[in-house]
Copies of this chain bind each other. A is one copy, B any other.
Amino acid sequence: MTRSDNIVLALSPIDEDLKLAFTVDCVIFGYDNDDLKVLTIECNMDPFMGMISLLGDFITQDEDADSAAKRILKYCTGNEDIFLEEVKSFSKPDRHPFGRVITIAFYSLVPISLTKLTDSADKHLKWVSVDEITEMAFDHKEILDNCLYQLRKSLREKPIGFELLPKKFSLKQLQTLYEVVLGIELDKRNFRRKLRSLNILIDLEERQQEVSHRPAKLYKFDEHSFEKKSSDGLKFEI
């Protein structure tokens, strides 16, 4: 996979008569330093030259949209086992200057600190704070906005916040994540009581290291327990 996998550059899978192509675009959200970011690549195609764009690629003949998205994630991070959710399609006839390019948007979640971008991808990619993004190539800003909306919705309905954090995290980190992504303030005691009552965290009996104050206890997400509770009809709601 080369840089030409940026759909901006790869032309071959576009049928020249119908000018029809089918792609996926991934909004890869990362979280680091109490900040929500998106993985971007610089666009080198007029009229969007120099603007940032999302990671996307054609869907090949032998894969479905989901697999294509996973392939992009693996290309960027070397990892396939990443949270991924389909959001919606974007298919305005004039959305792409090369012709009819219909795309399915996904968003995915990674903790930036644990995510080494692969060598091949590294030099082209950039994490950009969501707040700082005012425009993107193509209709990618619109795609980002839709995915961000969906992320916020899902974050309140399903326990996916953990996907953005390191395996071990403190309750404070988790709370800040919710506050940053949702753009709201949460009460510390109520937040903790809520999570305690959900019973989906495992106390690791460990503490933060090398902090100049009382170190926080560390937890991990109890995926197994959640799956069980979930099928019993647990209502996750923050």
Interface residues of A (CB under 8 A from B): 13, 15, 17-20, 22, 59, 61-66, 86, 88-89, 91-93, 100, 102, 104
Measured CA separation A13–B64 after assembly (Å): 20
Partner of A65, one of B13, B18, B102: B102
Measured CA separation A175–B91 after assembly (Å): 37
Measured CA separation A28–B100 after assembly (Å): 27
B91 touches A65 (CB 8 A): yes
B18 touches A13 (CB 8 A): yes
Partner of A15, one of B15, B63, B86, B92: B15
State the Cβ distance, A149 to closest chain B Cβ, in Å: 14
B93 touches A61 (CB 8 A): yes
Which B residue sits closest to A68, measured CB to CB? Answer: B91
Chain B hits for A17, CB < 8 A: 15
B92 touches A64 (CB 8 A): yes
- Which 10 pairs of residues, A with B, have the shortest CB-CB distance? A64-B91, A65-B91, A15-B15, A64-B92, A89-B104, A86-B88, A65-B89, A62-B93, A15-B18, A22-B102
Measured CA separation A37–B22 after assembly (Å): 32
Partner of A100, one of B61, B88, B89, B91: B61
B59 touches A91 (CB 8 A): yes
A102 touches B59 (CB 8 A): yes
